[in-house]
Chain A
Amino acid sequence: MANTSMQIVSPTTLWAVRVRSVLGGLRRAPKIPSLVLLVFMIFAAFGQWIAPYSPVAVDMAASFSPPVWHEEGSADHLLGTDKLGRDILSRLIRGARVSLSLSLFVIGLGGGVGVVLGLISGYSGGKVDAVMQRGIEVILAMPTILVALVFVFAVGRSFESVILILSPFLAARFARIVRGETLSVRERDFVAIAKVIGTPTWMILLKHILPNVFNTIIVLATLEVGHLILLESSLSFLGVGVPPPQPAWGLMVADGREFLTSAYWITLFPGLCILAAVLSLNLFGDWLRDTLDPRRRQL
């Protein structure tokens, strides 16, 4: 009787079940945020074939042309141009890649390191855990934007330096949350059994604990991408982000500041893009959390 309702699920099957449930569940995802994210992802991946112009093509004759719905606007530049005559729409489309790829790199690097640290810290406990937690608290207590400001100032503006300085902050956030989850998972019976039969520690972490904290990681990653896009655009706006002429959204907002009264479109649209992307990620992440991980609604 009990045999029919209970089966021993191998860790590999557990992964498969999880992936399948995520894919199946995606059909119930909130429609508009998913669509917006999909569009931005397509822009990021195939931007160079979608954008009508090169994002850096200067055309002084067409500088400050307004969007198409203005009288002086033309269909050549649907969302207008900036002071160098660069096409706003093309820059927005190509800017999606800057924001998304940078955030994904940071999630990959910082999040990856954070997950590993969190697993080790939570599983080993004791002194190792104590030392790692103190280190994490020190990082979390530092003002991100200012530290990034001084770091990028020192090493120079580049895509890589922004990734390098944001990653430790993200790693700390991931490590703290993954550690908390690991603490509870390691007390479960299947971990004890794995230990008894002599499974090596790395195998326990990889095959027994990681699959069980995976949902949390996915939710956290989604919400953090939004947070990172905001941080990256703030750094770009302050002039210490991705260097020009790369079309970063934050940088575009900064470019338009001088012309607020005469050419609002230079500032308005990139900000709307940031808002749309981050809002969608937050809504999507909230939905994901409620679906996958109802215990963590406070996250």
Chain B
Amino acid sequence: MVKYIGFRLFQALLGLWFIATLVFILSRSIGDPAEVFTARNSGVDAREIMAAKLGLDRPLHEQYLKFIGQLVRLDLGDSVSNGIPVTQILVERMPATFTLGLIALLFALAFSLPLGVLGAVYRDTPVDWVAKVMAFLGQSMPPFWLGIMLIILFAVVWGLLPPAGKGEWHSYILPGFTLGWGVMAGMVRLVRSSMLDVLDSDYVAMARAKGLPEVVVIGKHALRNALLPVLTYSSLVLGAFMNGSVVVEQVFAWPGIGTSAVQSVVRRDFPVIQGVVIVFGSFFILINLLVDIMYAVIDPRIKYTQ
């Protein structure tokens, strides 16, 4: 067990190192790094200052060690468009991204649990078809387009909800739903299939034989056991939200990390992009690590020998 966790930890560190190195190689291999790290129209002076700061006159391996050293100290450099430290920008914008992810997860659970359960219990009835349609649409719809269509309907045409930005509670509804639907698709299928497995089991037959009302059989005996895979999936989904939030935040002008990533691409603000990739990458890897460890703790059948 300890060996397995240690191994996964090592693998996670390897992943982090890989991402950091990739960013380093990209920033050094394409054109003049001093130009990559300075604003688009900055003069020779700014470029020389940046070159000195990055130590571009030093050999490549020294630059690399310096870069990794700074990363370890959480120093991601300063934004070239406004001079604010990248770490500070990320810390300020983190909460908005996380709340959005959480709301999206709640939406996904709120829709997928009833739809999945009803789809399994009333198989091949209209309820099941609705669940399937929702799932297929969620998997096939481009999230940015869904967001825009929701803005047109709920904000422009009906004027019910704010079109963009983060404000009162109702400003979370549209972005949360947009981000959540794609994930919901996978969840509906998962709930449905694990419910179907459980409904066939002996203890559900037993519960029915005891004469328990159907609501209790399904709600207590079946659903509880069908929930385990869903919970695991929910934690994995947080990783998927990192990917989705880049797009969805952009659509709703959400003041999170994804928006700053896209803005910095437009402004050619490399330190910020670099910071976002490293931070998001770390979270992604960290979540995968936690899920794997959780799995191993919950399910002893998982082999630790690798």
What residues make up the interface of A, taking CB atoms closer than 8 Å to B? 130, 134, 137-138, 141-147, 149-151, 153-155, 226, 230, 233-234, 237-240, 250, 253-254, 256-257, 260-261, 264, 267-268, 270-271, 274-275, 278-279, 281-283, 297-298
- CB nearest to A261 among chain B residues: B156
- Which residues does chain A contribute within 8 Å of B148, judged by CB atoms? 253, 256-257, 260, 267, 271
Shortest Cβ gap from B109 to chain A (Å): 20
Contact between chains at A282 and B273 (CB < 8 Å): no
Is the CB of B141 closer than 8 A to any CB of chain A? yes
What residues make up the interface of B, taking CB atoms closer than 8 Å to A? 11-12, 14-15, 18-19, 22-23, 26-27, 29-30, 36, 136-137, 139-146, 148-149, 151-152, 156, 193, 239, 242-243, 246-247, 250, 261-262, 265-266, 268, 270, 273-274, 276-277, 280-281, 284-285, 288, 306
The answer for the CA separation of A260 and B151 in the assembled complex, in Å, is 9
- CB nearest to B133 among chain A residues: A279
Query: Inter-chain contact count A-B, CB under 8 Å?
Result: 138
| A/B interface sample: 6 pairs, CB < 8 A | A230-B140, A240-B265, A250-B144, A260-B156, A268-B149, A275-B137
- CB nearest to A272 among chain B residues: B145
- Which residues does chain A contribute within 8 Å of B27, judged by CB atoms? 154
Q: Would you list the 9 A-B pairs with minimal beta carbon distance, nearest first?
A: A271-B145, A279-B140, A278-B140, A154-B26, A138-B15, A154-B30, A237-B144, A274-B142, A150-B277
Shortest Cβ gap from A49 to chain B (Å): 28
Q: A260-B152, A264-B152 are in contact. Are A146 and B11 (CB under 8 A)?
A: no
Q: A150-B273, A239-B262, A298-B193 are in contact. Are A253 and B284 (CB under 8 A)?
A: no
- CB nearest to B283 among chain A residues: A143
The answer for the CA separation of A250 and B268 in the assembled complex, in Å, is 21
Shortest Cβ gap from A71 to chain B (Å): 19
- Which residues does chain B contribute within 8 Å of A261, judged by CB atoms? 152, 156
Q: A149-B265, A238-B262, A260-B156 are in contact. Are A275 and B285 (CB under 8 A)?
A: no
Contact between chains at B281 and A279 (CB < 8 Å): no
Shortest Cβ gap from A272 to chain B (Å): 8
The answer for the CA separation of A298 and B194 in the assembled complex, in Å, is 11
- CB nearest to A240 among chain B residues: B265
- Which residues does chain A contribute within 8 Å of B266, judged by CB atoms? 239
Contact between chains at B14 and A146 (CB < 8 Å): no
The answer for the CA separation of A33 and B262 in the assembled complex, in Å, is 34
Contact between chains at A138 and B18 (CB < 8 Å): yes
Contact between chains at B280 and A282 (CB < 8 Å): no
Q: A234-B143, A279-B137 are in contact. Are A144 and B243 (CB under 8 A)?
A: yes
Q: A138-B18, A250-B142, A264-B152 are in contact. Are A238 and B247 (CB under 8 A)?
A: yes
- Which residues does chain B contribute within 8 Å of A283, judged by CB atoms? 136
Shortest Cβ gap from A144 to chain B (Å): 6
Contact between chains at A150 and B26 (CB < 8 Å): yes
The answer for the CA separation of A268 and B273 in the assembled complex, in Å, is 30
- Which residues does chain B contribute within 8 Å of A237, judged by CB atoms? 142, 144, 247, 250
Contact between chains at A145 and B243 (CB < 8 Å): yes
- Which residues does chain A contribute within 8 Å of B136, judged by CB atoms? 279, 282-283
- Which residues does chain B contribute within 8 Å of A143, judged by CB atoms? 239, 242-243, 246, 277, 280-281, 284
A146-B277, A271-B149 are known; give 8 further A-B pairs, CB within 8 A: A141-B285, A143-B243, A146-B243, A147-B281, A154-B29, A234-B143, A237-B144, A279-B137
Shortest Cβ gap from A216 to chain B (Å): 19
The answer for the CA separation of A226 and B142 in the assembled complex, in Å, is 11
Contact between chains at A149 and B142 (CB < 8 Å): no
- Which residues does chain A contribute within 8 Å of B12, judged by CB atoms? 141
The answer for the CA separation of A227 and B30 in the assembled complex, in Å, is 29
Cross-chain contact of B15 among A142, A144, A230, A256 (Cβ < 8 A): A142
The answer for the CA separation of A153 and B12 in the assembled complex, in Å, is 26
- CB nearest to B10 among chain A residues: A134
Contact between chains at A282 and B193 (CB < 8 Å): no
The answer for the CA separation of A275 and B140 in the assembled complex, in Å, is 6
Contact between chains at B145 and A238 (CB < 8 Å): no
The answer for the CA separation of A260 and B22 in the assembled complex, in Å, is 38
- Which residues does chain B contribute within 8 Å of A275, judged by CB atoms? 137, 140-142, 145
User: Which among B15, B26, B145 has the greatest number of chain A C-beta atoms within 10 A?
Assistant: B145
User: Which among A150, A239, A254, A281 has the greatest number of chain B C-beta atoms within 10 A?
Assistant: A150
- Which residues does chain A contribute within 8 Å of B284, judged by CB atoms? 141-143
Q: A138-B15, A239-B265 are in contact. Are A234 and B144 (CB under 8 A)?
A: yes
Cross-chain contact of B265 among A144, A153, A257 (Cβ < 8 A): A153
